[in-house]
Structure 1
Amino acid sequence: MKRIVEFPLESGDSILVEIDEPGQTDDRIGLRDDIIQKAQKTFESALDQIKPIANVIMTKVNSLNQPADEVGIKFGIKMSAELGAVIASGNSEINYEITLKWKREP
């Protein structure tokens, strides 16, 4: 079941995010025909949970004998009212896509 979660921003504003999970709290407000659940974290703090993952990948990539000139990391994120940002599982075995590019020297 899809829910709409309101994530407060550190600026005092808020954004609405559609998530795939049932509501677990009673801290909900009505908006037209939808139910909006208030998140337990700010949007920024929810996204802070992906920093360690990105940092580990970048540390490993930078430790290569010949570090890449360009690095791209792609992964899906699901938002959860209680947990914040969660790495999304896909339809396949791959959760991360890492692209490394080296420039040829003349």
Structure 2
Amino acid sequence: MARLAKFVLGDGSSIVAEVDDDSFESPRSVMRGGGVASPEFVVKANETFDAALDRVRYAAETMLDRLTSLTRPPDEVAVEFGVKLNAETGAVIAKASTEANFKINLKWTRAASNASAPAPKE
């Protein structure tokens, strides 16, 4: 079930994100007449937004390091993945980008070697 989680940002402000998180019990409130309503509520995330994304950043950097250190490295590397937020575990790479809070497309282009650069004019 989707819930709302509050992630604190590095500057002390916060954002609220929708999370699929069944690890938190939903409080139930009783309405007059005996009916039960399930109010929308916000849970506090266990870590800051910045800390959650640091792990995603590390994963992207590791992927780039591994792919560019191939014997025959590619001229260009493009990676697309989804990031899903979870109040308990922070940011996780989603199994499908359609399930993600963020769809991230990273692209690295290898710098041209100095040998192929035109000689400076004198």
Shift in Å, 1:67: 2.5
* SS of residue paired to 1:85: strand
Mapped to 1, the partners of 2:91 and 2:23 lie a distance apart of 16
Structure 2 partner of 1:11? 11
Aligned-pair CA distance for 1:101: 7.0
- Structure with bigger gyration radius: 2
Comparing 10-19 with 64-73, greater Cα deviation is found at 64-73
Structure-1 residue corresponding to 2:91:
85
Give the alignment of 1:1-106 within 5 angstroms: 1-24=1-24, 33-90=39-96
Write out the 4+ residue segments of structure 1 that deviate beyond 4 Å after TM superposition.
Answer: 97-102
Q: TM-score, normalised by structure 1?
A: 0.70
CA 1:51/1:101 → structure 2, altered by over 3 Å: closer, same or farther?
closer
Distance 2:106 2:13 in 1: 33
Q: Deviations over 1:70-106 (max 9, x none)?
A: 3221111111111101111239xxxxx997878xx9x
Number of matched pairs: 92
Q: Which runs of 5+ in 1 are unaligned?
A: 27-32, 92-96
Unaligned runs of 5+ in 2: 27-38, 98-104, 111-115, 117-122
One-letter amino acid of the structure 2 residue matched with residue 41 of structure 1: E
Separation in 2, partners of 1:101, 1:11: 32
TM-score, structure 2 as length reference: 0.62
In angstroms, what is the RMSD of aligned CA positions?
A: 2.8
Assess, with a 3 A threshold, how the Cα gap between structure 1 residues 9 and 100 changes in structure 2: closer, same or farther. closer
Q: Deviations over 1:2-54 (max 9, x none)?
A: 0000001110110011011125279xxxxxx4210111111000111113321
